[in-house]
Amino acid sequence: MGRYNRVSPEDPNIWIFDVRLRMHMPGGLLNTAVQFRSMNKHLLTYVHAILTPTQVKLMRNYHLLLERQSKIVSQNDSVMKERVVDEATKTVMARMDSRPLFKRYHSAIFRQKMHRTSRDYLAVLVSDYQKGTITDEVIDYLTRFKVPFFVDTKNPDLSVWQKLSNCYVKINQSEYEKAYNFDCVEHLIVTSGENGAYYYHNGHCEHFPTWPMTERHYTIGAGDSFLAAFATRMLECNNDVADSIRYANIAARSVMRGVGHKVLMTRGLVDKEIERVQQLVA
């Protein structure tokens, strides 16, 4: 995080970014797990993943429990995103990704170890970033659990989730425009930024608007927070999808006041955001 405030003396077409703050935070699956854990401290939150040693340390700092079947890989195999954020405008100016696909033997060992573990889960949250972890064999394994599934997927083929009953798939608007096989998903939620969210079920679509933020805000990690909050509410309100989407809209809004990966989404934080929204609509 920093500022673009001068041009390069070598080339006036290149701006220099002065770095003022570096932050290392869990993202993707780990951010979803951290936010769910923060909202549900009375529950044990287990993580199954292919991880690096650095990510393992991050998880333990957030009191997440590493399952024995999680696969540890080297830093060179890690999935890493680096963002350059302008601190004045809270705008992401650039993003650099390391885009490894996990090797077949990584996924094979991961699958083998998954079969050795069985717990009485209340729910299963899945973050599928199409890096080679979530395979047909992994999904077949998940069918043994008769619990709600909450899925965030980057896979445009939604048919891969049809084996899971009581499954709620969340994608964003740009992912929705690339997706296909919609009829294979019983519950589809599409988040659309300031437009709120859309719920597709049994051939019908219901829109859940949100409320625009007048101040500058970050959108980093908002989708992870939405999924964590949606799953939290669903477990509390007897699977009331409409109520849970409204709650998740507000919860995601609450973390956008800071960097979504950095702000821990607590019930108190969401309650304050609910009060702000109530004042807006009053």
Predicted confidence (pLDDT) per residue in 90-115, tens digit? 677 777 766 656 666 666 766 666 66
Average pLDDT of 179-199?
94
The predicted pLDDT at position 75 comes to 47
What pLDDT is recorded for position 185? 94
End-to-end CA distance of the chain: 36
**Identity at 281, one-letter amino acid code:** V
Give percent of the chain above pLDDT 70: 75
Q: How far is C-alpha 133 from the geometric centre of its chain's CA atoms?
A: 16
Evaluated on CA atoms 271, 277, 279, 282, the torsion sign reads negative
Tens of pLDDT, residue by residue over 243-265, are 999 999 999 888 877 654 467 88
More confident residue, 116 or 183: 183
| pLDDT tens string 21-30 | 776 666 677 8
Domain boundaries, the chain: 2-192
pLDDT band at 215 (very low <50, low <70, confident <90, very high): low
Higher-pLDDT residue of 20, 186: 186
The pLDDT of residue 231: 96
Spell 237-258 as b/e; 16+ CB within 10 A means b: eeeebeebbbbbbbbbbbbbbb
Q: Residue 156 pLDDT more than 90? A: yes
**pLDDT for residue 267 is more than 60:** yes
Q: What is the mean pLDDT of residues 48-53?
A: 73
Q: Which residue has the higher pLDDT, 71 or 225?
A: 225
**Structure confidence at residue 11 as a pLDDT band (50, 70, 90):** confident
**Structural contact between residues 160 and 139, judged by C-beta atoms closer than 8 angstroms:** yes
Distances (CA, A) of 96 to 79, 84, 99, 153: 11, 9, 9, 21
Longest Cα–Cα distance of the chain, Å, equals 62
The CATH H-level (homologous superfamily) assignment of domain 2-192 is Ribokinase (3.40.1190.20)
Determine the length of the chain. Answer: 282
Answer yes or no: is pLDDT of 232 > 70. yes
Is the pTM above the cut of 0.85? no
Q: What is the pLDDT of residues 52-78, one digit of tens each?
A: 777 777 666 666 665 544 555 544 555
Backbone angles phi, psi at 6, to 5 degrees: -160, 160
Q: What is the pLDDT of residue 67?
A: 56
Q: What is the pLDDT of residues 129-155, one digit of tens each?
A: 877 778 888 888 888 888 999 999 999
